[in-house]
Structure 1
């Protein structure tokens, strides 16, 4: 014990500053380090907000350059091809116009069960028609350039009593896709239509003018139940 006191008395000039230094280091570790981490985190948040603000300003500038009426027209054309809901009136109207243009005799129209895939929902419309093989070919060719997006799911062909005239049931799938609820993340730049997309919209507009199908918007008269599935 005496030796310890003698050691402390002899080196106290160095011991107490050493303990003081250790205490300061501990205080820095337990007090300053968390504050530094919080400061760095706040800086990251500030940088992120600043970057988003720059993108928002750029989006605002881009939006000012967009022709609102042109966007509405493009949207209307796009929805005429891929509606946001089941367009039963449009589907029946398109089938009627395509069969009439192809010189087919439309006997009956019925609807199949609703189905879906990864990209778009759809429903099946079955058209029972009579006509020649050449008329059937014309119908399929017109279907490829019809304004409302449809795919040929199946064909049932049978003979009739008339020579060269066949009865056929076309199973067609008419597509639709819900409009996205979200407009996208703030950090994503504003997406504008490319030249190829504008050209595609122009083609769809031409298809619509060539085959002026009836839609919910331009249908006249009393509207009944538009969706037989509900």
Structure 2
């Protein structure tokens, strides 16, 4: 009987220890962030999915910049863009707009959609185009086609805005379509819980996709600016 009790007690401690370890690991990963001394300039990217945002609270929570979704594909316009753009500016945050690029629509058509929403604001951050497979259409065009359409998008936007478009590209998209192609655009990387490994030449690094910020109910993407740059560099 004592032997059985000892076994059960041991199993109990093992299970409890395992649960504590899992909870501890989850807490660590959900709260991990790059060292603020190394990457002091922090930002978020948002869309209508974040719902109503209290931008003053966001600005008070060590957030310096925000990229706000303006459009997607050939005709979708984010319903929260105008509201978020105005309120983020009023709260003192540096702002930039972004477009989610569809692999099923021509680049020039998408640029026209984006430009129809993006305001004329000389002090805004450089526009960003979101290039990724997640949430995209099922089509996977050849490299040459994607490069042509993305270039058409970037050239059309840059001609109007006068700032170089920033490319957001997670590793899978980057390796499939962008690596070694000489597009000569600044890169926004996505590398959750560790520094970017697929390229050392990056401008912004998204380090969390389920972060927490005061003023936003629910998850939000968290980003840092390359420490060798300033937000003024992103206005070019």
TM-score (norm 1): 0.28
Higher Rg of the two aligned structures = 1
Superposition TM-score, scaled by structure 2 size: 0.28
